Each structure stands twice: as structure tokens, then as C-alpha cells.
Chain A
């Protein structure tokens, strides 16, 4: 059963490792927001030594991590998707595993499997690659739908059930999946329902001239990943996450998020609008972004900045507007931008006015 080619490249710490797979919230400390901002800056600076000239992608990835969401990085091969995921994972001190998805990867390779222990004469559970704080799922659309859904169920429920026993996944738990655009050969596109589980989708885009030149120099001899180290401990990371949860989202901002999402459902250019889960995740991501900027309250600007990343991959354009476009992503991004530009920003009701 486990003879299938599981390519677990980097799965050093599993159950019983130093940080522990299950982290209770006992040692959580509410971090000061200025400390959160400083820590976030240092993470971003650390990542940018590896990923050059992709500030928005980097900060978006960190936003999603702090909001305890899952991130989908979608782009053509070779632009640094995996590099971004690994840099993020290495910048915080926590367990990281990586799964390279292939068509013959089985669900048990992801979740883990019960193995018969000859010595103890009983079955014992051997956790799969999913048991880590940050799971990098490379080329997730190359796996069979069966395996994909096993991963995605874990993502949603944050637990694994094997042979009737439920194993909780560690906290924090973030899946950073990369995928190639759909028109590439030999892929199984993620269904809409499963894309919905990712908090945000970002695409890297090609680097500009300067960045590409610099990259040539930096990567000539060695991988830049070797040079970076964690700048934030696991406890600090959890403190940051708690701080993010405590960011205040006013009624006006919530209303703005709701009206944005509702607008996607009413838009005639869209066949499928965003789900209520999208609203929830939009607010969570906005809180995270606010914390990254050292604010303890969410601004409509946070929502605006994240709308494309959070909503884009959940929407399906109507065939009419898609027309002869092959790239539905660009079309949808345009639609989201249009909706953002057309939705009135509510003015809060402060005090007595």
C-alpha cells in the first residue's frame, strides 16, 4: 500500500516533534500590534531576500498565514511559486512538510496510514505529510480528484480520520498549494467547491527585468533558501494570529464586505458569485492585513486591497463575457475590480451623527 511513490521531500517533524502537532492555546500571548507589525515586517524582509520584486504576493501570503487561511498560488511553471511557499515556511519557526502531487498519489499518502507493528503486535498510525504547521502542496492540480479531496477535507476540518480514529491537525495549520494554470497538459482542475476552501489565490507573474537579472546573480551558485532562517518563533506566530483575531471590524466595514459579495452574486457577468464563506474569509483576511499595518481596526481599504485575491478564484464568469478569452482569471479579476469600484463605501455611524 505504501509502496506507491510518495515524494515527501521534507517532512522532518511529525507527531512528537519539538513544537508538537497539536498546540493548545495556553501559551498564546496577545501581542501588541506594533510588535505584530514589526514581526510581519521582518518576515516579509526575510522572504524578499528570496523572492525579489514581488512585494504584494509576499505580503498577501503572510496575510493569509496570519489569518489562518489556506493559500493557492497559481501561475505558469518556473516563476517561483514553490520558492514563495518555502520561503514563507522557513521564515517562521514551525513544522513544514511538502507534498509533490502526482496523478498516482493516494489519499493515504496525504493523511497517513495505520501500519501493523510487528513488535507491539498492533496497528499504529503513521501520520501523513498533512501533519505539519505549514503544508506545501506542490502542483495540486496534478493529483487525482480523490487525493485532492482528501487534502481539501483536511484543510476544512483541520482533522484527519483514519480507521475510525480522529487525529487533530496542529495549530497553526496552513496549506500553501501551488497549481499550474488549467490549460496545461495532464492536470485535474480543482472544482469550484474545492477552490472555495482557499482563503486567497495569488499569482506571481513574471519578474521585471531588474529582478530577473538580480536573481541570476543570486542563484548562480546556491539556492537562496539556504541562506534564510526563521525570524519568528512558533509562540510569536500564534500570538500574532491571536492579535489578528482581535482586530476590530466595524459594522460599516462588515456591511461593505457583505455588499461587495452580494454584488458578485447579482452581477450579470458572473455565472457563480461568492459564497458566505467568502464573506467570512474576506473579513478575516482584512483583519490580518490591518494587523500587518499596525492597525487594530479594519478599513474599507483593506477589503478593497484583498478583494481580488480573496474573491477572484471563487467566481465563474458567464460564457458570454468569457467569449474567446482563454484566461478566465484575468476576466474575473477585472470584474472584481469593477465591482469594488462601483460599490459605495459606507460611512460609519460614529457617535451621534
Chain B
């Protein structure tokens, strides 16, 4: 198949001549031998692009795995073609090779002869896929490359190798092979939301150019098989440079633009429709991103019978590795259906509870974790399979997302009194003991601070309240940008330590600081992630039940403390956000009564409301313009990028003209180059240049063009243009069709260059304004070269 296509692409004369008889085999051999460089270039491209995933994963082993799998598929495919396997079978064989490689690497010896997969292998693969998906969802970045993740990476690399191999070799459109490779390039940008990984981008672009170059060489080897001595055509590299340049700039622009795009509204939270808190993302980092988003996107709305709008909890993080908080993996129990949820653990009947009903409609949130008021007792109206987990208190689905769901939650409101909490015993059941774990190398600052703050606290409750008060105090600033700028984002132990020094951060830092400090003084603590109550939409009250809407800026993290006999009790350590629970307020003697009014239902916290809520806290006011400035900056970058992209053709054209001018002054074939430039300029200005036309015919039409619009200087200028055109024409004809004389003295070259300038000016002034603009910004000759056809070798020279 490749052979026959190579025949058609040569565009040579109808190959009926007897002399052309042995040619196809020679050409086929050339193409076959060119398979190796092409496969190598594809491998290089894939390996370099795969390297762009580095920010997401720890170590380098995963990269080697991807490279090995891709190498087996690509080089194996090339080898098969080399021995004469038809090209269209390539993808099939590639897939076979991929399966064999995966069986060898991941089958753990279950494969037949180690490489042929058996049923056992397939089972193993399925487990690996499940484990990989799960660990991607649960792990934060940079993730450990577990076996499951490695397996998924191997599959991805192999499939991508098959795809680009098919595109570049079988379909012979190597330019498109750059598309699949964009996936690994863009994923880190999407997941981490940072700036473009410039080195990776540039390296990939270079690899892409190498690929194009190799392919062009191969093509030329095919098309010039008639004349082995012939050098390669000078056209193609220019085209490759143009394509490559545009690709590089486009990639930069896309990655710069990506965080600005508001997710298309479809997924609400995540661009590209990926799930919130999934795909190997730290929930903490995610949260910060949503808070920093310039434009809030609606997430959900709800109506509730509660007197105060509730926090909507999605998941709790109680496992602290030291680097990050993660949700403890608890396999979903299929019997825990959401129509009847058990009472939260540790709740004793003495605690006053009330029941509220909340109807939630999801607008733009896609996640596997269900936002509900906590603790929920039952959920109705959900589509798909959702299960609750007694330990974490979260409701999640293994297969469905919250997208578009409408459901009703019946939940408890806990109203323990401070007395009850104070009386809770510090005798924690074993399941809760885990929530006291801290990493071994905990900075001393954390424990010291915690002990200092809780010095006067007699009970766990008093200590927790003291910690909350300390963090909500005026020493700490709420700021979503500072941690990112100072590079201590996230919830790790070092971050907490830094945060306690800098005293500036957002809910992630406050909640993890409180949780870590509570644990350090022996109080079980965990972090809950969910949404703040949102704002009451005016004019939408139905039967006295208001409609609240929640957007991405309401995403929040808070701390939950465990009290024996009560269960997990939420605390709010973040200043200026959310609402301090009632049971913590009684003890704070300083708390004025009117603070209760501040936490009225409509007073749910928003960064925008910060001024009203806490006049002393001026940071909120500052954050918004800062965010705006960031947005403007990004917009400016985007515009600059787009502008640069638009100017690429013009720049390439100008460069080419300069190079040609230099070639005229220096080279032996100045006239030919000059005429090529004239012809290209004519094409740029909308003059149709046909390859069936002789130079003299083109000159005739150019002369008419020049005469059609007299320049400012009138007839004499036209005269000079015409004379220069004639001189150029004769010189070009001489260089093309006369005996080669080998005279190229500099005076003549300089005269040629001067004539060229005159003619180019003439063409320019003879064209309409529109044509002139187009010729400058969008020179057509870059992709439709005028007189750049390469003469086919003479049949009987």
C-alpha cells in the first residue's frame, strides 16, 4: 500500500517508459530502508512527549516503561514492514505486539510462553486497570507510579504508538501524528493548571520537526528515485519550518489560554470535562484552583428546610502521609445503599438532633462524591449506584457522577452543647486511633505552636476551640494566591509549618493546620471538603423555603474533630469564611452577641462579602483586584500569543525573502532565486501563477498589473519597473534555459538585487490595498509556492 501511494505522490510522468521498469523496486527499497529513521523519529516524539507527564508522577521508571512499550510497537512495526508485511496490517500487528509486551511485563508469568495472554492474564489486567483507576482517583500529584498506573501508562503509550504509526506510516500524514502527542503534553497543564511546561513543549516541537524532516526525506527518496544524483528539493524544509513554527506557537498559546477558559460550563468545574477530585489530582490543589478561578461557575443549587443553610460535605480526608491528605480507601460496600444510611459512629442518643430535608440540583459539578449536608440519613432521587461509607461519612459512586443529578437528602443536624462536648472522654475506639497519626518527621514548630495555643485548655473540646480561635485570629490572613506564589500550596506537613510562619493562606492551609495541630495534642482530626452554603437567591422563595445557589468559589475545606459520644464535629478554622458552629461560640466570652446575626442564613460567606462580614479583614478586598490583574495578565499573554501566531507567516516570509536576497548576492544562481521571489511575491499579491505558464507570460501579466495602477511617481516609475522586470526575466530565462556560463560576478548580482527590489515595489504599488495587507500578513506563497516547482529530470538529456 505504501508503495502504490508512493507512486502516486511522485507526480512523475506517466511511467510507461521501459526504462522505468526497475524503478519501483529501487524506490520500494529506499522507502523500506527509510522505515527505520521514521520509526525512530516517531519513537523520539512519543518519548519526549511522554516525558511531559513528569510533574504528575514520581520517579522515572514509568517513563522508561512507556518508552519501552512504544519502542516495541514502533520498531516492531517497522521491522514487520521491512520484511514485507502489508502496511494496512500494521495497526493489527502493532496491537498484537502491544498485548504481548504487556503480558510479558505485567502478566506476572500468567501468559502462555510468557507473552500470549491467557484468561488468567486478562483477569490480572482487569484488576490492574481497576487498581490504576482507583489510585489515579485517590492519589495526589505527584503520584506514586503504582503497578496499576504503570499498566495504564503502558496501554496509553502503546495505543498512542499504534495511532501515530498508523497516521505517519500507513496513511502517510505524519503532520497529524503530532495530534495524539498533544494529549500527554496538555494533561499536566489541565490537571495542575500551571503554566505550560515550556521545556517539554519545545522538546516535543523539536522532535516533531525531526519527524517531519525525516518523512520529507523519505518522500523525496521515493520521488527522486529516477535520478539518484539529484539533491533534495529545497521547497519542503521551508514548509516544515512553517508548519512546525505554527505548531509550536499554537501549543504555547493553547497552554497559556487553557486556565482562562471556564471549562465550557459542561463540567462546570474542570476544563475538558474531567472529574473533580479525580485523575490523579490532589483534592487540596484542586480546591485552591477553583478558588483562584477568576470567574465563579455555578455548581449546584438547593432548597432546605434547615433554619441555617448547611455546609455540603463531599468527602473527608483522614489519612495524612506527610506529603498530603488523602481519603482512606474503603471499598464501597454494596449493601450500603443510600436510601438508608446508618447513624454516624459515636453518636449517643443524648445529643439533641433535628432532621432537615434538602433538595439539591447539580448545575455544573462532575465528581463521584456526592455533596450532602452531613450527616445524611437517606438520599432519594439519585440516578446510578451510590454507596455510603460509615467511617468517612461520604457518599460515592464507583461508576456514576453527579452531573445533572437532582436528589433529596434527609440529614441530621447535630446540636451538642459545649458541656456535652467537654464531657466527651478521650478514650477513642481503634477505628478513630488512625486519625491521630502524624508523620514521623513532624516539624517541631507545629507541636510547639499547638501546645502553646492549647496551654490553658482542660479538655479536648477547649483545645479544639482554642485552636480554632487562634487560626481565626487577626494574625492570620486569608489569601488564595500567596501560597501559590510562595510555593507552599497543598496540605503537607512542611506546608503547614510554612503556613504557621507566614500566616497567610486559604482554607486548605487553615483546615490542615488545625487538623495537624489537633492531632499533635492528641485529638482525632480530619479534613472535610465540600461547599459553603452559598447565597440565597432573592425572588425565588417557594413556600418560605429559599433557593440557595453555590458556585465554585464556595468550595471549601474545614476540620472535623472527633468527640466520643458525639462523633465527628465540624470546626471552622478559616477566618472570614463560613460560619463558626454554635457549640464553639458559647465558650468564647469575647464573642459579641451580634455575631450570631452575622451568621444568619443569608450571610453565608463569600470572599466578596468579606468586607461586610469582617470589616477588620481587608485582605479579601485586595484579593479580588489581584485576581483580576492575574486574569488580565493571562488575557494579555493570550492576546500576545495569538498575535505572535498571526505574525508567524509574515515573519517566515520576510525571513525567506532576506535569505533569498542574500542568496542572490552570493550564489551562482541569483537570477533563478530572484525570479522565484518575484513569482512568490506575485502569488502573495493575489496574482494567479500557474505552473503551465512560462516566465515570460507571468512577466506580461505583472507588467499589466503594474500599469493598471500607476504609482505615485507616474509613468517614469512604471518605466523603470518594466525595465527592471525585463532584465530580471531575461536573466532568469538565461539561467534556466541557456547554456550554463558560470559567470556570477558581484556587480551583476548587485544589479539583480536592485532590480528585484524595484520589481517587488512595483508589484506592491500595483496591487489593491487588500491584496497588499494579505501579502504581508498571510503570504499565500508559503503554502502555494509559485514557481518553486522542481523541474523533473529530462527524459533524454
Interface residues of A (CB under 8 A from B): 248, 250-255, 258-259, 262, 266, 295-301, 304, 340-353
Contact = CB atoms under 8 A, between A and B. Distances in A.
Given A266-B14, A300-B694, A344-B691, A349 B737 contact: no
A347 B736 contact: yes
Given A300-B737, A353-B669, A251 B787 contact: no
Given A248-B739, A251-B797, A299-B733, A342 B14 contact: no
A250 B669 contact: no
A345 B693 contact: yes
Interface in B687-716: 691-694, 696-697
A344 to B, nearest CB: 4
A190 to B, nearest CB: 30
B745 to A, nearest CB: 15
A350 B692 contact: no
Contacts of B333: none
A348 B694 contact: no
18 contacts: A253-B737, A255-B791, A255-B792, A255-B793, A258-B795, A259-B13, A262-B14, A295-B738, A296-B739, A297-B734, A300-B737, A343-B692, A345-B694, A346-B789, A347-B672, A348-B736, A350-B671, A351-B669
Given A254-B796, A255-B795, A347-B789, A301 B669 contact: no
Contact of A347 (B671, B790, B796): B790
Given A254-B796, A352-B669, A342 B738 contact: no
Interface string B266-282: 00000000000000000
B791 A346 contact: yes
Nearest to A258: B795
B747 to A, nearest CB: 19
B691 A250 contact: no
A40 to B, nearest CB: 19
B694 A304 contact: yes
Nearest to B736: A348
Interface of B: 13-14, 231, 234, 667-669, 671-673, 691-694, 696-697, 733-740, 787, 789-797
Contact of A252 (B667, B669, B736, B740): B736
Most-contacted residue by chain B among A254, A295, A348 (CB, 10 A): A348
B794 A252 contact: yes
Contacts of B667: 351-352
Contacts, number: 97
A86 B734 CA distance: 37
Nearest to A304: B694
A198 to B, nearest CB: 24
Most-contacted residue by chain A among B671, B672, B692, B735 (CB, 10 A): B692
Contacts of A300: 694, 737
Contacts of B14: 262, 266
Nearest to A298: B737
Complex A-B, nearest 4 residue pairs according to Cβ-Cβ distance, in ascending order:
A251-B794, A348-B736, A297-B738, A346-B791
B792 A346 contact: yes
A136 B572 CA distance: 118
Contact of A353 (B234, B694, B792): B234
B780 to A, nearest CB: 19
A348 B735 contact: yes
A304 B669 CA distance: 25
Contacts of B733: 297, 299
Given A344-B692, A351-B669, 8 more contacts: A254-B795, A254-B797, A255-B794, A295-B738, A341-B692, A347-B736, A347-B791, A349-B793
Nearest to A341: B692
Contacts of A350: 669, 671-672, 735-736, 740
Contacts of B692: 340-345
B696 A351 contact: no
B789 A348 contact: no
A297 B737 contact: yes
Most-contacted residue by chain B among A252, A259, A347 (CB, 10 A): A347
Contacts of A254: 794-797
A162 B734 CA distance: 49
Contacts of A252: 736-737, 791, 794
Contact of B738 (A250, A259, A262, A301): A250
Given A259-B13, A351-B672, A296 B790 contact: no
A342 B14 CA distance: 16
B31 to A, nearest CB: 24
A129 B668 CA distance: 55
Most-contacted residue by chain B among A253, A255, A342 (CB, 10 A): A255
Contacts of B740: 350-351
Contacts of A342: 692
B694 A299 contact: yes
A344 B789 contact: yes
Nearest to B734: A297
Nearest to A250: B737
Contacts of B671: 350
Contacts of A250: 736-739
Contacts of B789: 344, 346-347
A350 B792 CA distance: 13
Most-contacted residue by chain B among A296, A342, A344, A351 (CB, 10 A): A351
Most-contacted residue by chain A among B671, B733, B735, B737 (CB, 10 A): B737
B173 to A, nearest CB: 25
A344 B787 CA distance: 11
Contacts of B693: 345
Contacts of A341: 692
Nearest to B697: A301
A352 B234 CA distance: 10
B15 to A, nearest CB: 12
Contacts of A348: 672, 735-737, 791
Most-contacted residue by chain B among A248, A340, A350 (CB, 10 A): A350
A345 B792 CA distance: 10
Contacts of B794: 251-252, 254-255
B433 to A, nearest CB: 81
A4 B733 CA distance: 56
A302 to B, nearest CB: 9
B775 to A, nearest CB: 22
Contacts of A353: 234, 669, 672-673
A352 to B, nearest CB: 7
Nearest to A255: B794
A35 to B, nearest CB: 19
Contacts of B796: 254, 258
B714 to A, nearest CB: 30
A297 B738 CA distance: 5
Contacts of A255: 791-795
Nearest to A251: B794
B696 A347 contact: no
A2 B450 CA distance: 141
A185 to B, nearest CB: 42
Contacts of A304: 694
A351 B14 CA distance: 27
Contacts of A343: 692
B437 to A, nearest CB: 74
A347 B668 contact: no
A301 B696 contact: yes
Nearest to A347: B791
Nearest to A339: B692
B14 to A, nearest CB: 7
A258 B14 CA distance: 12
A203 B738 CA distance: 32
A352 B735 CA distance: 11
B670 to A, nearest CB: 10
A262 B696 CA distance: 23
A351 B737 contact: no
A141 B748 CA distance: 56
Contacts of B672: 347-348, 350-351, 353
Contact of A345 (B668, B691, B734, B738): B691
Nearest to B739: A248
Contacts of A351: 667-669, 672, 735, 740
Contacts of A344: 691-692, 789
